[in-house]
A and B are shown apart, each in its own frame.
Chain A
Amino acid sequence: MGLKLIVLIKQVPDIAKVRFDVEKGRIDRSSAEAEINPFDLNALEAAVQVKEKVGGIVTAISMGPPQAVTSLKDAIARGADEAILLEDKVFAGADTWATSYTLSCAIRKVGDFDLIFCGEKTVDGDTGQVGAEVAEQLGIPHIYYVSKINDISQDKIKVMSEVDESSYLLESDFPLLVSVTKDVNKPRLPTLRDKLKAMKAEIKVWHANDLSDVINLANVGYFGSPTTVHKVVIPKEKERQGKTFKDVPGGVNFVLDALEAKKLI
């Protein structure tokens, strides 16, 4: 017994370090180290906590380039039992529809599952769409903006879901996809022992031909994507006054004069 838990993880650049070229409108991904999307750490932690409570097995799945193996090893260090990377040139350039299609095919191939966890959004794509699109493609319900897991058993889950100015306490049977916010938990840090163990873990890599019985390749990657990025603009920062003060009463006085002139006070 125990639950079959799947976590969807994306490798993203550390946003605090990425450099953006304003002139060329380019993102220099090599300028920053890659890491697990921060919100997906919450999704992983949620799955691991569920496993610790009612038993089960956690499978982390990611679609990405070969180097995303390191993020999946990190996921194992943080409590996932196994991990699968969907990696193929034909998967590259996917929008949310093609990404969710590819992920849902892989999930079908994995077979039976009870719960799928994903993050609220990625820090690069930043759409928050992949989860609900995966759920629709699998024909299962989803719950978004989950801020708390109130109860979990072998056949039911109760969660709090934040819908703008309301919160709902919801109950659902399985299968279900849950998208979590950062408030759902505090992700644990892996111990050195966990990290060493994870280094030796084998990450399954599935290429397009490994999915051939479940996938239609017309729907994957850049060519399978209904949307295309047709331009990227890196907005120039708004011009600011940039006046600096060290002297407190004088600085405050100057600032208040300025605010008064703008009729803000």
Chain B
Amino acid sequence: MTTSSEIKKKVIVFAEKRDDLIHPISFELLGKGREIADKLNAELSCVLLGYRVSREQAMELIYYGADQVFLYDNIVFKELNIIPYKHNIVQLVKREKPDIFLFGATHFGRSLAPRVAAALETGLTADCIDLQVDENGDLIQIRPAFTGNILAHIKTKTKPVMSTVRYKVMQMREKDQARKGQIINEATEVPNERGPRIIRKERQAEFNITEAKIIVSGGRGLGTSEGFKLLKELADLLGGVVGASRTPVDEGWIGKEHQVGFSGNTVKPKLYIACGISGSPQHLAGMKESETIIAINTDPSAPIHRTADYSIISDLYQVIPEMIKQIKARKVNRT
């Protein structure tokens, strides 16, 4: 006879494979997963589905904290087709009966996880920024809602407790090549269910604003797409990149990969310079965690000033050239 205390708890993390690489969020999830598993005295597993996956890649997941890896290698996983991914993960969950199952809140994770959760008739908490274990051993899932205005603490009654976790908020562990673990080769089931057909795949521009340490962002106050040339000059000088509020993106002044905010990217740079941006709640949702914020806006009542460390209440077309001039002068003086 087994009592509940003899059954080891299980945490499973979904490792996301993109082309030939494992997405870094997978290692972040393993970092958090390890912490949770240790608190619950649970086993931490990772499921990796892909095509032509090397053993070394599966081993990486062990080096970053997994006790075992369920490995699926099949051509159906060559592209990100939701249906076969869902089918095999659901089968695995039914067999392993994990207590907790974590996905990355990437586009793919946020599309796949709800399908898995619905198939398993379990709860799913979206876009978590923290996971904690409470005194009862329950998982507290913390997530922003209401366009980033609140943080909800959520508990799940059903098993497994499922969450998607935001990229770049969890800490990955130091890689430990001495860690031992098991790689279990799983047989892939190819479901009959059909899904959409891929006609073509394009890579987007390499530009990724979420990686930037310094962002010089422009809003409607720029007036024209030309304004971004000036911002680019400042950004280049600072070793940063150009961002934007939604307005210039909708106007077609700049590409949507530059957009910061609720319907764009969430960023947390060391320095965020908001030029001609009023500071709508939807924009703030994407940048208010920045370390230092400078606002340049002619309107003293613009809400952005309340979130800024430094506000210059003046025309950005005077302020930015002055900044460029003074930065250049400082660089000359330093050498």
A95 contacts B123, CB within 8 Å?
A: yes
A228 to B154, CA, bound (A): 6
Contact (A258, B146) CB under 8 Å given A129-B124, A133-B114, A252-B319: no
A150 to B31, CA, bound (A): 41
B154 contacts A248, CB within 8 Å?
A: no
B194 contacts A244, CB within 8 Å?
A: no
Contact (A252, B153) CB under 8 Å given A141-B195, A168-B200: no
B115 contacts A15, CB within 8 Å?
A: no
A165 contacts B82, CB within 8 Å?
A: no
A226 to B156, CA, bound (A): 6
B108 contacts A164, CB within 8 Å?
A: yes
| B52 at the binding interface (Cβ < 8 Å) | no
A165 contacts B150, CB within 8 Å?
A: no
| B238 at the binding interface (Cβ < 8 Å) | yes
| B110 at the binding interface (Cβ < 8 Å) | yes
Contact of B270 among A163, A169, A234, A264 (CB under 8 A): A264
A227 contacts B154, CB within 8 Å?
A: yes
B312 contacts A251, CB within 8 Å?
A: yes
When distances are taken between beta carbons in the complex, the residues of chain A under 8 Å from B118 are: 97, 100, 132-133, 136-137
A112 to B307, CA, bound (A): 50
When distances are taken between beta carbons in the complex, the residues of chain B under 8 Å from A125 are: 145
When distances are taken between beta carbons in the complex, the residues of chain A under 8 Å from B282 are: 15-16
Number of B residues whose C-beta is below 8 Å from A?
88
| B224 at the binding interface (Cβ < 8 Å) | no
When distances are taken between beta carbons in the complex, the residues of chain B under 8 Å from A227 are: 123-125, 154-157
Contact of B326 among A172, A176, A245, A253 (CB under 8 A): A253
When distances are taken between beta carbons in the complex, the residues of chain B under 8 Å from A141 are: 82-83, 193-196
Chain B residues 57-111 with CB under 8 Å of chain A are 79-80, 82-83, 86, 106-108, 110-111
When distances are taken between beta carbons in the complex, the residues of chain B under 8 Å from A153 are: none
| B182 at the binding interface (Cβ < 8 Å) | no
B314 contacts A15, CB within 8 Å?
A: no
B314 contacts A126, CB within 8 Å?
A: no
* 5 nearest A-B residue pairs (beta carbon): A226-B123, A136-B118, A127-B126, A227-B123, A132-B114
Given contacts A97-B118, A265-B238, 4 further A-B contacts (CB under 8 A): A123-B146, A129-B110, A143-B196, A164-B18
Query: Which residues of B are interface residues toward A (Cβ below 8 A)?
Result: 18, 79-80, 82-83, 86, 106-108, 110-115, 117-119, 121-127, 140, 144-147, 149-158, 193-204, 206, 208, 214, 238, 250, 256, 262-263, 270-271, 280-282, 288-289, 292-294, 300, 305-314, 318-319, 322-323, 326-327, 330
